[in-house]
Amino acid sequence: MGKVALVTGGTRGIGAAISVGLKKAGYTVASTYAGHVEAATKFSEEHGVSVFRWDVAHPEECAAGIADVEAKLGPVEILVNNAGITRDATLHKMTFDQWSAVIRTNLDSMFTMTRPVIEGMRARNFGRIINISSINGQKGQAGQTNYSAAKAGIIGFTKALAQENAKKGITVNAICPGYIDTDMVRAVPPQILDSIIATIPVGRLGKPEEVADLVTYLASESAAFITGSVLTINGAQYIAN
Ligand code: NDP
């Protein structure tokens, strides 16, 4: 059995592509999901990946879920913190629930998921932690103060954690995707989506598999000197606007 890779939100969208990419590269993959049981079951059957259900915003559920994964598959050596949600509104119309749901799922999850695995990684002198941030955490996006704040927070978390663990064979990196063709982006009204695509110099949305390939590289032994980095994958959208 290959090293165990745990991918949160790993049954749909970018996370599903990451799970499949890591499985093809020889890892033993565990993918988590929150509530879409049918999608998760179908994904598991199609790709032979073990799936686990818990809420990444909930510390006790994460600790119990990770203990379950480790009991069944072995110690988690690669952690991909990918699960994320949007609850868009301009701040003057945003409710505290919309703010809090996004901060808890997208940012608190960095702590709730990483805390239970980091001591084991340190003891084994090996680990790969890959956090999925966003272009909107780098540049800020109107209508997404909650999401932009959480995704920017992931970048600070990544840089601090990388320094804490650099001598322990553990790398910690953030990936900032631009607009990638998943359910999250398909939920954007078509006219708005067309106007977004017009700002991407490459002229199209990114593919989940393109993000997955970057994750697979960062997870590999070859990427040992890449840590504390923020990698962009956005078709030049960030520099062009
Ligand atoms: P999707 O909405 O397609 O999938 C989200 C995944 O996260 C699902 O598997 C979902 O589970 C899971 N999830 C959501 N909330 C929780 C929770 N509380 N606990 C556990 N799992 C949860 O998202 P994408 O694939 O588009 O996005 C993946 C990541 O990439 C996110 O962090 C997103 O912010 C980021 N990103 C996406 C971009 C894009 O253009 N798509 C651009 C930049 C960043 P379930 O299936 O059960 O709902």
Give the mean model confidence (pLDDT) for residues 137-143: 96
Q: What is the pTM of this model?
A: 0.98
pLDDT band at 172 (very low <50, low <70, confident <90, very high): very high
pLDDT tens column, 88-102:
999 999 999 999 999
Predicted local distance difference test score (pLDDT) of residue 1:
76
Could you report the predicted ipTM of this complex, rounded to two decimals?
A: 0.99
What is the structure's pLDDT at 178?
97
Q: Which atom of ligand 1 lies closest to the CA of 86? A: 34
Q: Is residue 169 helix, strand or coil?
A: coil
pLDDT-derived band at 241 (thresholds 50, 70, 90) equals confident
Which of 33-47, 72-86, 181-195 is the least confident region? 181-195
Q: Ligand 1: distance of its center to the CA of 128 in Å? A: 20
Question: Is residue 9 a contact partner of residue 215, using CB atoms and an 8 Å limit?
Answer: no
On average, the pLDDT of the chain sits at 97
Q: Can you identify the CATH homologous superfamily of domain 4-240?
A: NAD(P)-binding Rossmann-like Domain (3.40.50.720)
Which of 148, 210, 198 shows the shortest CA–CA distance to 190?
A: 198
Is 7's C-beta closer than 6 angstroms to any atom of ligand 1?
A: no
- pLDDT: is 134 or 241 the higher one? 134
Distance in angstroms (rounded) separating the CA atoms of residues 90 and 169: 42
End-to-end CA distance of the chain: 45
Residue 127 has pLDDT above 90, yes or no: yes
Q: Does 11 sit in the ligand 1 pocket, CB within 6 Å? A: yes
8 A C-beta contact, residue 209 and residue 171: no
pLDDT digits (tens, 9 = 90+) for 47-82: 999 999 999 999 999 999 999 999 999 999 999 999
Q: Is the pLDDT of residue 184 over 90?
A: no
Tens digit of each residue's pLDDT (9 = 90 or more) over 204-223: 999 999 999 999 999 999 99
Q: What is the pLDDT of residue 6?
A: 98
Task: Say if residue 104's pLDDT is above 90.
Answer: yes
Please work out whether the CB of residue 42 comes within 6 Å of at least one atom of ligand 1: no
- Tell me what the mean pLDDT of segment 226-235 comes to: 98
Q: pLDDT at position 89, please? A: 97
Backbone region of residue 215 per phi and psi (left: phi > 0; alpha: psi in -120 to 50; beta: other values)? alpha
- Does residue 147 carry a catalytic annotation? yes
pLDDT at 164: 98
Q: Which of 147, 179, 217, 238 is catalytic?
A: 147
Neighbours of 4 (CB within 10 A): 22
The predicted-structure confidence for 8-33, as pLDDT tens digits, reads as follows 999 999 999 999 999 999 999 999 99
